[in-house]
Amino acid sequence: MRPELHQDWIDPKAAEIVDRLQKRKFEAYLVGGCVRDLLVNEHPKDYDIATSARPEEVRKIIPNSFLIGRRFKLILVRRGLAQYEVSTFRRSRSAEDDAIETEIINEDNFFGTAEEDAVRRDFTVNALFYDPINKKMLDYCNGLADIENRTIRIIGDPIIRLNEDPIRILRGIRLAHKLNFNLEGQLRSTIQTDGACLKNAILPRKREEFLKILRLKDPGLTFLEMFDLKILQYCLPSLNDLFLNQEAQTIFLSTLADLKKLVLKDSDPANLFLIFLYSYIKAAFGTDDIKSQDLEDNILLNRLMKDELGVFKQEAIHFFKTLSFMSSLTNIDTFNRKGERRKQGFLSNPYLDTANELCLYEHLYRYSDYWFWKKQIQSVNG
């Protein structure tokens, strides 16, 4: 059954940008993840637009737009708190381009057609163009068929495309879990045989993919499939070593699933890394008498945080401060003996709420103690 697109879900501000460009006789479409999500009954979080207009032309046509990017020039359009990226159709560098003397050496600077732009994208489900004004779909890579068959298929030769950009391995697995799709057979086997190329991926890009995985409903299943595909060893070797122990693997996965439901309040990176790291230390070291200082000096944990996850210094502080704050909540009598000013300072601590959730999860005190702190927090926050 052919997937149907939810026209009524489309952001009117994104459609207005498309309309402005089309009225100036340029091609313009919604593209990528927003089109895919509209076809799989997901409300898009972001709207990207692709057009035949050059970046400077877009900037002149669309109010409140700004040229951004050093390698990949595109336009950022601001509408209140919302932002929309507008990119010009690109094409791959050709033999003719190589024969011409030019200072432009980055293929992202070569403008092309919508079809040329589509075949440069990563997966077929991300290569769909939709015209919200004329209600027209452009499908150059059979993305609609793959959405219908719930398949993640890479565009082109998987060996070439994955080695060209190893992050596509993480992105493909994440998309499969986000959409409840299957990896296409050849893509799956190439990930297994060529997964070592992930060692060449730079840490900031891996960090962003890990955060996106942690935003999934059940990120543990994604990490487990990465382990089964034998690629976890190339991007998160510390977690891979942990998963070799069946008992530790079970503790990590169950803790991560629980904390996603019980503790996580938002998708802020500091909180996402907190639940991952807490799950890791519980599985690797246990939670009896956790001492923050001991963990801060732990070589294995530091390697995981800095070299594998790319955790920022402030995010690490957030994690360790939350752990150390947990012990402060286990003695209400000590709190009650404080003066009002010290009580207010204690209750204003940004780590209190999450530490309270973790204490309850670990059964460090009674349910009534948990609600004591909840009520105290609510009194301060009004």
Q: Could you list the active site residues?
A: 46, 48, 122
d(CA 57, CA 203): 35
Q: Are strands 28-31 and 48-51 parallel, antiparallel or unpaired?
A: antiparallel
For residue 77, count other CB atoms closer than 10 A to its CB. Answer: 23
Per the CB < 8 A criterion, the answer to whether 27 and 114 are in contact is yes
Look up residue 364 and give its amino acid.
L
Residue linked to tokens 């942990």: 242
d(CA 130, CA 119): 16
| Residue 134 structure tokens | 């004329």
For residue 262, count other CB atoms closer than 10 A to its CB. Answer: 12
φ and ψ of 314, to 5 deg: -65, -35
Q: Which residues contact 221 (CB under 8 A, 6 or more apart)?
A: 177
| Residue 100 structure tokens | 């011409």
